[in-house]
Structure 1
Amino acid sequence: MFSFNSAATLHHVTHLPPSTTFARALECLHNHDLLIRLDPELAHYSTLPSPSSAPSTKRYKVTDSMHTLPAGLWDTTVTFEADITNTEDGIEWIIRAPLGLVQRTTWRVVKRESLGKEEDALVVNGEGEWSLVEDVEIKANRMLVGTVKGKCEENWRGVHGRFVGHLGEKA
């Protein structure tokens, strides 16, 4: 049977600067305000109550301005709910958007030496001991998956670059 639903996965790795410690990278990842503001399309966000079933998860209502979506898919602004849960090595971020879109992203701080040689060859910058590893899974209808995947691919280098820029700032 033909299905209109589809999925896509993405994997991005950025080496962190040599002066970056695990604790500092994790501190920045656990700063949800910082993470949400890394989004180049962010218009605004507000905090929602945490779900009673997961009190350690923080919930947000986020509005993005997205002027490059195909006509009729969404308005120029998209409002969605985002759940962010801190983990021992990063965060898990789940977005639930209109039209049934669910995007699950993990950002982890990992030792560079634990990356495989093929994966290490795909990184963007840096020579440090630690790497930021982002894994994304997008589930939605076929056309929406392609659009969201394209936006993720277009934006990740800038998002990771802005994250790296915050690592050197004072806490």
Structure 2
Amino acid sequence: MQNTSTLPEGTTREQLLAALHDHDFMIKCDPHHVKHSRVEQPAKFPGAATDLAIAQKAFDLPDLSHMGKYLGGSSAEADPYVNVYELTDEMPNPVFSSTINSRLEYVNLEKGLWTRVNSPMGVVLETAWIVVDAADGSGALELHQDIVISCSRMLVGIVKGNIEANRGGIHKLIRARIEKEMGGPGPTPVVDVPAPTPAGGVTAEALA
């Protein structure tokens, strides 16, 4: 799945990357966000925070060479190659609210941000947020969001439905942040509210 948006005229690459690399901001763009916290690096892979080769093995990272060089790796506490978080979502559905706990992995790269969301029932979302020049040659910037879904065939429809319900929601919030930095008018828009998830459904956290 892919989603693309054009950024406001005058947006700099530095502004857009700063928003993507602000993990608290990106995580809180999830419309069902309740709380999140940082998780320590995996103990069975000492050095994963500051050694790229170890980090790639420890987290089974895909080939991200199209997104430029990895950023970070200076410390385990504040600036590891792979930032790990625990996320708690509250998902409404027609019968009751479901508390969903997911594990997030965020990787800062020269051209954007790569995320992986591990949710219950084997649902895995891998998302590449890539900053590119607009194809029309206008000099504007575009933000490409490429999502890869991994889950059982039974859950594909539910997961895709959740993503489609909030399609473009994070893009709107990123745009609003940049417009505010540029002195633009208007309040920050609220993320599109997803349709209710059927009972027993699994969250497709929008970041990730």
User: Is TM > 0.5 for Structure 1 vs Structure 2?
Assistant: yes
Which amino acid is the alignment partner of residue 149 of structure 2?
A: I
Identify the match of residue 37 of structure 1 among 25, 28, 49.
28
Identify the match of residue 82 of structure 2 among 57, 72, 85.
57
Cα deviation, residue 48, structure 1? 0.5
The match for 1:135 is: 146
The match for 2:168 is: 157
Which amino acid is the alignment partner of residue 100 of structure 1?
A: G
Question: Structure 1 residue runs of 4+, over 6 Å off?
Answer: none
Any conservation in 1 of the 2:133–2:139 contact (CA below 8 Å)?
A: no
Any conservation in 2 of the 1:11–1:134 contact (CA below 8 Å)?
A: yes
- Structure 1 SS opposite 2:154: helix
Structure number with greater CO (CA < 8 Å, separation at least 6) is 1
Any conservation in 2 of the 1:112–1:130 contact (CA below 8 Å)?
A: yes
The match for 1:22 is: 13
| Distance in 2 separating the partners of 1:114 and 1:87 | 25
Which structure is higher in helix share?
Answer: 1
Identify the match of residue 13 of structure 1 among 4, 12, 20.
4
The match for 1:124 is: none
**What residue ranges of structure 2 are gaps of 5+ in the alignment?**
43-47, 49-53, 56-79, 183-208
- Structure 2 SS opposite 1:142: coil
| Distance in 2 separating the partners of 1:50 and 1:33 | 18
- What is the RMSD computed on CA atoms of the aligned residues? 2.3
What TM-score do you get using the length of structure 1 for normalisation? 0.79
What TM-score do you get using the length of structure 2 for normalisation? 0.65
**What residue ranges of structure 1 are gaps of 5+ in the alignment?**
1-9, 116-126
Any conservation in 1 of the 2:128–2:147 contact (CA below 8 Å)?
A: yes
Matched length: 148
Q: Determine what percentage of the aligned residue pairs are the same residue.
A: 32
